[in-house]
Structure 1
């Protein structure tokens, strides 16, 4: 559900075998915002991949219940982090989704880059939202933005116009680290029915990096 980065960083990643790992350490004693700390936590996993699975129970996600999943913090710069999300259903890998987290002048932004196997963009792509609060070092919420609402309405996906996405991540030094991606919408929030999708990944046991997401070769 998902990429253009500073060329120098990409070259460095190729030469060293993994992507650069920008960290927002700040000066000694500096007060970092929760979003800076969140960015540093996600960046601390750059170049690594992790396995996980579905933990929510909505019936519409039945095909995902037994699917193998890998998330890969594949590319990082000071302004954008790309996290391909690979899903294997019935042994066939779907590499169509990449989560993009970027820094903006007002906070953080999450977008979903969806591609077909030939690398072409899906009709429903680059949707997401911006943070409207500082969040915490381990969790950031991304309410749907106006551009995405217009896209959903145009594509007949009106149920999605109240989406709120959440990304959670622990720093690489955490003893029991977890990365989670979540989609939620509620009747109270204006949705026609409740919707909850959540996948979690074990950050304590890296796995072999998968092939690039479609369109990112």
Structure 2
């Protein structure tokens, strides 16, 4: 009985710690609301990658107590928005893709909920069931969005099959 009680206490404390870090992370992102930052693709270094050589711009905007919308521009393509939402399960990170007329792309709203390993400066989001259906090959996707320790860079990182797939870094010291 003591072991079960100890396990329950550990799970409760662990869950509280994770939720506290998720809330702190959300506030760090929200503190940048209204600002625009330039970035660059750092992986893959493949010159044929669709983002290669294109200017990356993220605009942290539309911030509320529960949601932050971050339009993400690749070259002239403005079809992407990252959405960070507080939910009962923790933080939810989704990719909203839209056509020029505002209608959703066929492949949109993929992402997942934060796991329990995150910190105030970094959160990881394993692919959810909706993503598994939309992108069967992306079943093992894990997106990580983070800040370096000095909060000078915002990093967007994607792994698939526990291997690097894409990484972009945004300079937070220079406003666009």
* TM-score (normalizing by structure 1): 0.68
Cα distance, 1:169 vs structure 2: 2.8
Q: Which consecutive segments of 4 or more residues in structure 1 shift more than 4 A?
A: none
Q: How does 1:36-115 map to 2 (within 5 A)?
A: 36-57=23-44, 59=46, 62-88=49-75, 93-115=76-98
Farther-moved stretch of structure 1 (59-68 vs 143-152): 59-68
The equivalent position to 1:180 in structure 2, one of 155, 168, 171, is: 155
In 1, are the aligned partners of 2:45 and 2:52 still within 8 Å (CA)?
no
Q: 1:200 is paired with a residue of what secondary structure?
A: strand
Question: C-alpha deviations, 1:20-76, integer Å up to 9, x for none?
Answer: xxxxxxxxxxx9821121111101100000001101125386232211110000110
Higher fraction of strand: 2
Q: 2:167 aligns with which of 187, 190, 198?
A: 198
RMSD, aligned α-carbons: 2.0
Q: Partners of 2:47 and 2:158 in 1: how far apart?
A: 13
The partner residue of 1:117 within 95, 100, 109 is 100
CA 1:39–1:61: 2 relative to 1, 3 Å: farther
Q: Which residue of 2 aligns with 1:148?
A: 131
Distance 2:47 2:38 in 1: 22
1:58–1:195 Cα contact (<8 Å) kept:
no
Alignment gaps of 5+ in structure 2: 1-16
**Residue 131 of structure 1: which of 98, 103, 114 is its match?**
114
**8 Å contact 1:70–1:85 — kept in the other structure?**
yes
Deviates more, 1:75-84 or 1:195-204: 195-204
Residue of structure 1 in register with 2:138 after alignment: 160
Q: In the superposition, relative to structure 1, how do residues 38 and 69 fare at CA in structure 2: closer, same or farther (>3 Å)?
A: same
C-alpha separation between the residues in 1 aligned to 2:107 and 2:50?
20
TM-score normalised to the size of structure 2?
A: 0.83
Q: Deviations over 1:91-127 (max 9, x none)?
A: xx00000000000112100011000111110001011
> Is 2:115–2:123's contact at 8 Å kept on the other side of the alignment?
no
Q: State the match for 2:5 in structure 1.
A: none
